Amino acid sequence: MKLKNILMAVVAMTSLMVASGAVQANEHGVALKHAEIDVTDQEQLRRGLTVFTDVCMGCHSAKYITYKGLMDYPELSLSREAVDELRGEHPLTAGLITDLSPEDAKVSYGKVPPDLSVIANARRGGPDYIYSVLTGFEHDPAGKVPDGNFNEYFPGNRIAMPDPLGWLDHDEADTAELEAQAQDVAAFLAFIADPHQNERRIIGCWVLGFLVVLTLVLYLLKKSVWSDVKH
């Protein structure tokens, strides 16, 4: 591989990284709010798990996460005691986590609450979308959904989910707290949607480092091989 090609690859990667910080839009082109998340931040992920089990699991499942996963992922590394405590309240591995059966949920909310294991990858904008939806409930500004829940960021604005964090009627003092909860649970959902993403990034960095060193060695080798040849 030519040095030029390697440089091009590095530049392409850098611009990708920059692009991922850009404003995201939902499927209808509505610009989303940006969630401050860090899927390597153990504290944030654990807070997100708490929001998830305390609030979201009242209606949603997360079928693809297991208790073992919660203990094994270094990002969470929950103790067995902590996990047992969780399990007592919510059978995380038993498919549907809630007391509601999908049919009951449909009767109550008109729609079955989707499983959230991979929702962060399934929706455009991922964690930004989740954060925006959780903080996007409004008192139907233009009378668009008179008999439903208005949400600025949900495609079509009519969402069957009733404002889970109590965003609609919070007072100013709680805004930061609710925003933090929404970001934490968005981080948690982004993490469980792809629990090996951090591992992969670390491997990626090693590979890049290796390529840089290899390039240097090959360059020096080339110089020494050709040093005897008169130009």
Q: Under the criterion CB under 6 A, does residue 185 sit at the interface with ligand HEC? A: yes
Contact with ligand HEC (CB under 6 A) among 83, 159, 187, 190:
159
Q: Under the criterion CB under 6 A, does residue 60 sit at the interface with ligand HEC? A: yes
Nearer CB in complex with ligand HEC: 39/185: 185
Contact between 32 and 25 (Cβ < 8 Å) = yes
Nearer CB in complex with ligand HEC: 83/130: 130
Contact between 120 and 126 (Cβ < 8 Å) = yes
Nearer CB in complex with ligand HEC: 49/113: 113
Contact with ligand HEC (CB under 6 A) among 56, 78, 83, 97:
56
In sequence order, what are the residues at sequence separation of 6 or more whose Cβ sits closer than 8 angstroms to the Cβ of residue 185?
48, 51, 52, 55, 56, 130, 134
Query: For residues 40 and 198, what is the distance between their CA atoms, to the nearest angstrom?
Result: 7
Query: For residues 225 and 148, what is the distance between their CA atoms, to the nearest angstrom?
Result: 75
Contact between 191 and 62 (Cβ < 8 Å) = no
187 token code pair? 């981080």
Phi-psi sector, 18: left (phi>0), alpha (psi -120 to 50), beta = alpha
- Beta carbon of residue 180, minimum distance to ligand HEC (angstroms, whole number): 12
Q: Under the criterion CB under 6 A, does residue 164 sit at the interface with ligand HEC? A: yes
Q: Under the criterion CB under 6 A, does residue 193 sit at the interface with ligand HEC? A: no
Nearer CB in complex with ligand HEC: 83/134: 134
184 token code pair? 């934490």
- Beta carbon of residue 123, minimum distance to ligand HEC (angstroms, whole number): 5
Count of residues of this chain found to bind ligand HEC when the rule CB under 6 A is applied: 23
Q: Under the criterion CB under 6 A, does residue 59 sit at the interface with ligand HEC? A: yes
Nearest to 39 by CA among 83, 73, 90, 67: 73
50 token code pair? 């708490």
Query: For residues 214 and 220, what is the distance between their CA atoms, to the nearest angstrom?
Result: 10
Nearer CB in complex with ligand HEC: 174/215: 174
- Beta carbon of residue 133, minimum distance to ligand HEC (angstroms, whole number): 6
- Piece of 7-15, 32-40, 49-57, 204-212 that binds ligand HEC (CB under 6 A): 49-57
Pick out residues in 93-152 that bind ligand HEC (CB under 6 A).
109, 111, 113-114, 116, 119, 123, 130, 133-134
Residue 197 carries which side chain, given as an amino acid letter?
A: Q
Query: For residues 199 and 196, what is the distance between their CA atoms, to the nearest angstrom?
Result: 5
Residues that bind ligand HEC (CB under 6 A): 51, 55-56, 58-60, 109, 111, 113-114, 116, 119, 123, 130, 133-134, 159-162, 164-165, 185
